[in-house]
Amino acid sequence: MSIPAAIPAFGLGTYRLKDQTVIDAVRNALDVGYRAIDTAQIYGNEAEIGQAIAESGVPRSQLFLTTKIWVDKLGTDALIPSLKESLRKLRTEQVDLTLIHWPSPGRAVPLRETLEALAEAQNQGLTAQFGVSNFTIALLQQAIELAGKGAIATNQVEISPYLQNRKLVNYARMQGVHLTSYMTLAYGKVLKEPVLAEIAQRHGATPAQVVLAWALAQGFSVIPSSTKRENLASNLKAKDLKLTSEDMAAIAALDRNERLANPESLAPAWD
């Protein structure tokens, strides 16, 4: 079995992107230099992403594909068949990373069962790595105990300047678990923040680049989404933006525990 690739620092998020919109977004993203794409079964866009990749001409070996198992497929009997269906739609024999999208509501499916199914999927070569998403400290601790140290490739969670999730971040770092930040731009809300506008102006950058650079500087992977080619290209430039310690401190002060992804039927008891 080949050594799993490190999770790229920068990728394309595809939440809420459907049909021709997601095809165009993926095509444009690949064209301007993205090589990581994040999707999920519940997004309903895996087939379109598979089509866009196939038509792009970019070799599969150069791409890092992530998908997420929905909550109704977390059981032993459902997980691997559902992942195989995702692979069929994505037109690939293996994804690079498979995540538990949300903890099983009401713990209907024991975490041990899901992690064992993911480990089996990995053994079968269906996924190179597996991890979790929207896991709290308690759930992450349980996952590490069940799967073993080093088995959880990432915890994909909401992190933005307005929700900095420091307790979870510190715990994950202590455990050596990589973090992927989603909704880093808080649906665009942070782009109107005066502090960020000021920092952006000082660096000759955009507020979005500043926020993404802030997340990257902390070692998080980011997966911003956009339907506009110019924004996709602009966001990617965040990789080259170096913020000062004063910039980082100013952004740290923006934390207000404002969570946007908090579905009542799915959300765990957040830290």
Q: Is residue 101 a known part of a binding site? A: yes
Helices (H) and strands (E) in the chain, counts: 10, 8
Whether 43 is catalytic is yes
* Distance between CA atoms of residues 175 and 141, nearest Å: 9
C-alpha torsion angle, residues 5, 226, 196, 136 (rounded to 10): -50
DSSP state of 8: P
Chain-centroid distance, C-alpha 117: 21
Residue 39 contacts residue 133 (beta carbons within 8 Å): no
Beta-bridged to residue 157, according to DSSP, are 181
Which residue of the set 34, 43, 162, 182 is catalytic?
A: 43
Q: What DSSP string runs through 25-92?
A: HHHHHHHHT--EEE--GGGT-HHHHHHHHHHH---GGG-EEEEEE-GGG-SHHHHHHHHHHHHHHHT-
Residue 53 contacts residue 90 (beta carbons within 8 Å): yes
Binding residues: 101
Q: Point out the residues that are catalytic.
A: 43
Binding residues for substrate: 101
